[in-house]
Amino acid sequence: MALDSRPQVMENPARRFVLNITRIRLDWGGCFRPQFKSISAFRGKTKKRLIPGLLLLCIAWMPFASGSPASSLTPQSLKIKKDAFGVLPGGKAVDLYTLANTHGMKVRVMTYGVVIVSLNVPDRNGQSADVVLGYDHLEGYLAKSPYFGAIVGRFGNRIKDARFTLDGKEYTLGKNNPPNTLHGGFKGFDKVLWLGQPFENKDEVGLILQYTSPDGEEGYPGTVHVTVTYSLNDKNEFGIHYHATTDKATPITLASHSAFNLAGEGSGDILGHVLMLNADHFTPFDSTLIPTGEILSVKGTPLDFTKPTAVGLRIEGKNDQLTYGHGYDGNFVINRQGPGLALAARIYEPTTGRVMEIDTTEPGEQFYSGNSLDGTITGKHGHVYKQHSGFCLLTQHYPDSPNRPEFPSSILRPGRTYLSTTIYRFSTR
């Protein structure tokens, strides 16, 4: 398949979605082992709900199995709609889907790069604001975008010297972040057109997006079929569910690169946001932001966010990690008791009262404080994005894990399934 060709549709969307909302048991020795559970069971409910839940999903998805489109629900319920969002240079149309719940939360997603174009969330007074950085039009994302809102892959984050060895063979990747590769290379998953298919049921609305990455794309081995599912419910939970298979062993870790400002995009810096990271340890990195292989305690360092702390309180502290990253830009090891969803982070914006909590099945999270934003990007509504205008929290496997056998493995092999979920939960106080 050509790099800019449209993704292939999987043969049974209903079955794929059921697989997509299942979760993974991560074998810390390095294997991906599917463990099929319903969302409710995964959150600790009884297993008795598994079969009815899957039946309801299948019933809700019968229109897609026959090829009929979803329709918008009544104004009093969850709803989804589709609009045009411009045309790529090659002439292919980009679609924009809007997901909305009954509490004023609204998410807009485009099919180019699976980009979250906007995410509107109410504050403590019920006033809604868009809390992600980005552009008003497609042209901004095509011209100059530091991964705003996109899904990054085939391997999110950095790989040292743009190469890795797998099963005795060395693979060379594009050095788009010299001397390393970053977020999949020169043309990663953020720069391709995906195929979108909406869905809705009584509990949630969402969008299934699919892309087939051909063998050798950006130097990676194997043809990889990828599905990303976005979902929104009336609990103000926005979910991202990842599903992938391959015909050759290959590294894979997918992540959402939204840059958040809970006071509203364009409202200033995020240094006053109060952050808690559920991480007692981090993976230190060198001057090129590549992990050294160590896993160290955050205790006694400016990287200790185990208790709620303002982002800007220690950002100028004397620490190699802050010097190398020009602020925060490192991977944290999430505290967890076992496989499944675990709390990764909680962040609070005092002036609006907005709170965002992140649960994930991933072992790590990259906290980035918008250090490279320098005022050269003009985003939505003419807002100029200066340093620290937004922050990212990417749930992920550790950077450079293909070259680090001591890290949790990111290698997906034929016959295995990559499954990963991250939930963003919004509230106020």
Per-residue exposure over 229-247, b if at least 16 CB sit within 10 Å of its own CB, e if not: bbbbbeebbbbbbbbbbbe
244, 241, 242: which is closest to 220 by C-alpha?
244
The CATH code of the domain that includes 231 is 2.70.98.10
Residue 357: inside a domain:
yes
The pLDDT value recorded for residue 168 is 97
Range of the domain at 120: 13-428
CA distance 286 to 61: 48
What is the model's pTM? Answer: 0.83
Residue 201: inside a domain:
yes
The pLDDT value recorded for residue 76 is 53
Sign, Cα dihedral of 299, 302, 303, 305: positive
The pLDDT value recorded for residue 109 is 98
Residue 74: inside a domain:
yes
Residue 162: inside a domain:
yes
Contact 415, 33 (CB under 8 A): no
CB atoms within 10 A of CB 92: 13
Residue 87: inside a domain:
yes
CA distance 37 to 221: 30
Residue 2: inside a domain:
no
Residue 6: inside a domain:
no
Tens-binned pLDDT, residue by residue, of the chain (429 aa):
333 333 333 333 333 443 343 333 333 333 333 333 333 334 444 333 333 444 333 433 333 333 333 334 444 578 999 999 999 999 999 999 999 999 999 999 999 999 999 999 999 999 999 999 999 999 999 998 999 999 999 999 999 999 999 999 999 999 999 999 999 999 999 999 999 999 998 899 999 999 999 999 999 999 999 999 999 999 999 999 999 999 999 999 999 999 999 999 999 999 999 999 999 999 999 999 999 999 999 999 999 999 999 999 999 999 999 999 999 999 999 999 988 999 999 999 999 999 999 999 999 999 999 999 999 999 999 999 999 999 999 999 999 999 999 999 999 999 999 999 999 999 999
Count up the domains in the chain and report the number.
1
The pLDDT value recorded for residue 61 is 39
The pLDDT value recorded for residue 70 is 37
CA distance 128 to 390: 18
Residue 353: inside a domain:
yes
